[in-house]
Amino acid sequence: MKFGISYSTPYYGVAPDRIMAFARLAEECGFESLYLPEHIVLYPGAMVGPYEMPPSLPYVDPLDCLSFVAAATERILLGTGVLLLPYHHPVILAKRLATIDVLSKGRMRLLTAGLGTLPGEALAVGVDFATRGRRADEAIDVLRLLWAGGEDGVSFAGEFFAFDNLCSFPKPYEVTQLPIHIGGSSRAAARRAGRRGDGYFPGGALDPGERAVQWELVRSSAAEADRDPEALEYTRFGSIDMPVERVEKLAAQGVTRIVVNTAATEPDQQREELSAFAQRFGLLEHFPR
């Protein structure tokens, strides 16, 4: 089992020293990865399910923030949970992701892409909310095409994106592709993960039966697309106080990574909670100081 930790700036704040210290603490405690969420814009009345989001929540740009984290750390992998893929142009995004991966020496490896749930956010960036699923599928294809392409250039003709003979350098660090995990809590997201993703990271308050159905849908969709279901990673959220028995149950369900967060906002309390978690699961045995 691999363990990541999330850092939500709407909750912890945007103070750069705090972000840097938290990332270093997570690395020191042996966490595999650090995840950041994304919202590009909010607005009065924006609802996520039954909850209204305060429009002043300070969501930093996750990729810019992960670049900052990369400069302050040495080992921890960089992740998004989730990047709102339909709201990014894939030609620009391919460059940004490859740049972070090169400068971090191969640590931009846990991109998780989602569709977004706020119609006003889609409208603000000129995206038809109803088409965001097809747009995301196409964007994944464009990203992979550009990363793999050589000096002769690559071309693409789709519903949303089209270009001829483009070259995008630098390439990701020592690889031709970056993993793209799919986030979401719907069966459509599960199918997308199986058909196009390198892993699935479901969110939402789903009951155990639906979670099992979705993971099986990921695997069956991969097989139908002539992809190896065994190669897909399965990431789930957990809690900082979760017992070993809970992790064992998730592992039995096929989970390969658990992402937790801490309710503590003060550095001393964060250190206490992260250190206790690391000790409980022997994280430093895998990533010693």
Say whether pLDDT at 288 is over 70: no
Residue range 226-237, pLDDT digits in tens: 999 999 999 999
Tokens of 31: 């966490």
Structure tokens at 41: 């814009």
For residue 49, what pLDDT is reported? 87
State percent of the chain over pLDDT 90. 97
Q: What is the mean pLDDT of residues 182-186?
A: 96
CA–CA distance, 26 with 76 (Å, rounded to integer): 8
For 265-270, which contacts have Cβ atoms below 8 Å and span 24 or more sequence positions?
265/11, 265/12, 265/13, 267/18, 267/21, 267/22, 267/25, 270/22, 270/25
Residue with tokens 């479901």: 202
Nearest Cα to 273, choosing from 281, 258, 263? 263
Give 47-89 pLDDT, tens digit per residue. Answer: 998 999 999 999 999 999 999 999 999 999 999 999 999 999 9
Structure confidence at residue 285 (pLDDT):
78
Instruction: Check whether 284 has a pLDDT greater than 90.
Output: no
Q: Please give the full DSSP string across 61-73, using - where no structure is assigned.
A: -HHHHHHHHHHH-
Amino acid found at 180:
I
Q: Which residues contact 175 (CB under 8 A, 6 or more apart)?
A: 106
pLDDT of residue 133: 98
Count of CB atoms situated within 10 Å of the CB of 2: 17
Between β-strands 33-36 and 2-6, what pairing exists: parallel, antiparallel or unpaired?
Answer: parallel
Tell me the two tokens of residue 90.
């894939």
**Band of pLDDT at residue 287, cut at 50, 70 and 90:** low
- Encode burial over 89-105: b for 16+ CB neighbours within 10 A, e otherwise: ebbebbeebbebbbebe
What's the whole-number average pLDDT of the chain? 97
The pLDDT of residue 286 is: 65
Spatial separation of the C-alpha atoms in residues 31 and 12, rounded to whole Å: 18
pTM for the model: 0.97
Is 259 strand, coil or helix? strand
